[in-house]
């Protein structure tokens, strides 16, 4: 179901201004009171922390995201912690206000560059030795001769998160603006009655909201680095370097967890990442996703009534009621949707589902000849997909690249339809340029797409 803000426009205009200019129906004075109490009591050395934050967002939300993501990526985290709701933020505090203070304290401290994690030299050498076999498979099975020029980079989680956030800076910055609430108009002058001369309401609207988005984005990508095996596990609007990126620790852990011979695990994930990198190497796809996903995040709108309904009995003066809220990514994004998302969903979903269906088809062709344990690997991937973490879901849904089961089935039927009519040669052309992507009408009728290819 799609939630449209237009349905309530009349209500917004006609009813008494119960909430003022506050989009959440929350009382800024109550928030200010909580912050004042914390500040005056010296909790978390808040006042001195703010004193060092002359410009707390000098690096913007993305600078914050990089610091948080690198911190999470650098840790050794148990698998169960990744999906544990208590571990979704860097702070373990159950008090959301204390958590905000802790984040401010962290950001007010001198920046610390989280060093890259070490990559096992023996493992890296083995990847480089096996990479030509992966290139040969993709070249022969996907008609991709140019794959031989794409370099391999065996990386670590910390380096991966930094590269990933930098590669998505444009869409992430747009998202930080569209998803950051403002609590009324921020006064231009400081309030002398507030501790340290700061106006709390202004600080919330101009600092806390974008800061929290940076923390959230960094947290999700930091946890994603513990689940990903390489650059292209999720089809995101990432302007990544021209490379095949493999996260060493992810592949090593997969082989250990599922008792898969290391060489077979390396070859499987190298083939998978090489195939995806080959598709991404066409600059049109990266630019297309960047454009569509930027439009997608820019279309988000905060619907105060839907959000209030979702939050239930939340009481800003009672921190326990806030920590008790259990909202899924699906529910949260449903409150942010606008009619424009319906249009973008169709186009982004078509590209994403075709990408996944094509990759799965190529991977299934003749790979079992190379990998005696292919069935074990495939079954393990299916189980991992079923238990996809909230981090994966959040990132996919944020940019609109999450696909429904119906769209996935339509894409698989399209692939089969092309193969039955014309064989493989035509199917490989689908990624050559933007004009060759099936339209919505052709998506359900592969014969129409093949006819257009013949004319072209």
- Give the model's pLDDT for residue 245: 95
Q: Residue 36: inside a domain, yes or no? A: yes
In a domain, 11, yes or no: no
pLDDT band at residue 127 under the 50/70/90 scheme? very high
Quick one: pLDDT at residue 373?
92
Q: What is the mean pLDDT of the chain?
A: 75
Indicate if the alpha-carbon torsion angle 380, 167, 334, 402 is positive or negative.
Answer: negative
147 inside domain? yes
Q: Is residue 263 very low, low, confident or very high in pLDDT (cuts 50, 70, 90)?
A: very high
- Please say if the pLDDT value at position 162 is more than 50: yes
Max avg pLDDT among 59-63, 363-367, 443-447: 443-447
Name the phi and psi angles at 199, rounded to 5.
-90, 120
Q: Is 351 a member of any domain?
A: yes
**What confidence tier does 437 reach under pLDDT thresholds 50, 70, 90?**
very high
Give the global pTM: 0.76
List CB contacts of 77: < 8 A, sequence separation 6 or more. Answer: 87, 223, 226
Which pLDDT does position 44 carry in this prediction? 36
- Of residues 219 and 163, which shows the higher confidence score? 163
Identify the residue whose tokens are 């009995």: 313
Residue 16 in domain: no
245 forms beta bridges with 153
Residue 455 lies in a domain: no
Q: For the chain, how many structural domains are there in total?
A: 1
Q: What is the pLDDT of residues 334-384, one digit of tens each?
A: 778 889 999 999 999 999 999 999 999 999 888 988 999 999 999 998 888
Q: Is residue 452 part of a domain?
A: no
Q: pLDDT for 86-126, tens place per residue?
A: 333 333 334 444 555 555 555 555 555 578 888 999 999 99
In the chain, what is the straight-line distance between the N-terminal and C-terminal CA atoms, in Å? 38
Cβ contact 349:407 at 8 Å: yes
Query: pLDDT at position 49, please?
Result: 37
Written as six digits, the tokens of 177 are 């603006």
Mean pLDDT of 385-402: 75
* pLDDT score of 47: 35
- Report the interhelical angle of 405-422 vs 446-455 (nearest 10°): 50
Q: Which of 249-253, 280-284, 423-427 has the highest mean pLDDT?
A: 249-253
**What one-character-per-residue DSSP string does 396-456 give?**
HHHHT----HHHHHHHHHHHHHHHHHH-HHHHGGGGS-GGGS--HHHHT-HHHHHHHHHH-
Q: Please indicate whether residue 121 or residue 219 has the higher confidence score (pLDDT).
A: 121
Q: Where are the beta strands (DSSP E) in 234-355?
A: 244-247
C-alpha dist (Å) from residue 175 to 192, 344, 356: 34, 15, 25
What tokens were used for 437? 């992507």
Q: Where does the pLDDT of residue 180 fall: very low under 50, low under 70, confident under 90, or very high at 90 and above?
A: low
Residue 155 phi/psi, 5-degree rounding, is -120, 180
Query: How many Cα atoms sit within 13 Å of 90 on the Cβ side?
Result: 29
Residue 435 placed within a domain = no
pLDDT by residue (tens digit) across 12-59?
A: 344 334 333 333 333 445 544 544 544 444 433 333 333 333 344 456
Lowest mean pLDDT among 184-198, 301-315, 420-434: 184-198
Q: In angstroms, rounded to a whole number, what is the distance separating the alpha carbons of residues 192 and 206?
A: 18
Q: Which domain holds residue 283?
A: 21-420
Mean pLDDT is lowest, of 53-67, 231-245, 249-263, 308-322, for: 308-322
- 278 within 8 A of 227, measured Cβ to Cβ: no
Structure tokens at 306: 């839907």
Contact present, 66 and 217 (Cβ < 8 Å): no
Q: Which of 197, 201, 161 is nearest to 72 (CA)?
A: 161
**What's the CA gap between 130 and 186, in Å, rounded?**
58
């Amino acid at each position: 179901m799609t939630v449209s803000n237009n349905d309530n426009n009349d209500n917004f205009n006609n009813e008494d201004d119960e909430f003022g200019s506050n989009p959440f129906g929350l009382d800024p004075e109550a928030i200010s009171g909580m912050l004042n109490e914390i500040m005056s009591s010296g909790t978390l050395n808040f006042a001195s922390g703010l004193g060092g934050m002359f410009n707390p967002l000098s690096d913007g939300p993305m600078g914050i995201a990089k610091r948080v993501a690198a911190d999470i990526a650098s840790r050794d985290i148990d698998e169960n912690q990744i999906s544990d709701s208590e571990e979704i933020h860097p702070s373990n505090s159950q008090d959301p206000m204390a958590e905000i203070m802790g984040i401010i304290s962290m950001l007010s401290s001198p920046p610390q560059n989280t060093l890259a994690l070490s990559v096992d030299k023996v493992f890296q050498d083995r990847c480089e030795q096996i990479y030509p076999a992966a290139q040969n498979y993709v070249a022969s099975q996907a008609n991709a001769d140019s794959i031989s020029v794409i370099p391999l980079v065996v990386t670590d989680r910390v380096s991966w998160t930094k590269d990933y956030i930098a590669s998505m800076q444009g869409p992430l910055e747009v998202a930080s603006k569209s998803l950051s609430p403002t609590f009324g108009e921020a006064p231009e002058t400081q309030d002398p009655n507030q501790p340290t001369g700061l106006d709390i309401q202004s600080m919330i609207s101009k600092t806390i909201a974008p800061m929290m988005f940076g923390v959230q984005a960094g947290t999700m990508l930091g946890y994603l680095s513990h689940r990903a095996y390489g650059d292209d596990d999720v089809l995101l609007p990432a302007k990544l370097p021209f490379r095949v990126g493999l996260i060493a620790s992810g592949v090593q852990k997969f082989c250990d967890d599922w008792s898969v011979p290391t060489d077979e695990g390396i070859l499987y994930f190298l083939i998978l990442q090489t195939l995806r990198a080959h598709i991404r190497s066409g600059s049109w796809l990266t630019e297309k996703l960047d454009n569509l996903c930027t439009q997608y995040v820019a279309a988000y709108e905060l619907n105060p009534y839907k959000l209030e309904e979702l939050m239930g009995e939340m009481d800003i003066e009672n921190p326990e009621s806030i920590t008790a809220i259990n909202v899924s990514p699906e529910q949260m994004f449903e409150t942010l949707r606008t009619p424009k998302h319906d249009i973008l969903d169709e186009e982004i979903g078509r590209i994403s589902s075709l990408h996944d269906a094509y990759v799965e088809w190529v991977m299934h062709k003749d790979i079992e000849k190379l990998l005696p344990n292919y069935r074990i690997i495939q079954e393990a991937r299916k189980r991992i997909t079923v238990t996809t973490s909230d981090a994966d879901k959040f990132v996919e849904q944020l940019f609109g690249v999450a696909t429904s089961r119906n769209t996935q089935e339509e894409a698989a039927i399209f692939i089969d339809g092309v193969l039955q009519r014309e064989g493989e040669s035509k199917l490989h052309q689908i990624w050559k340029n933007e004009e060759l992507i099936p339209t919505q009408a052709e998506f359900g009728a592969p014969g129409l797409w093949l006819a257009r290819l013949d004319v072209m």
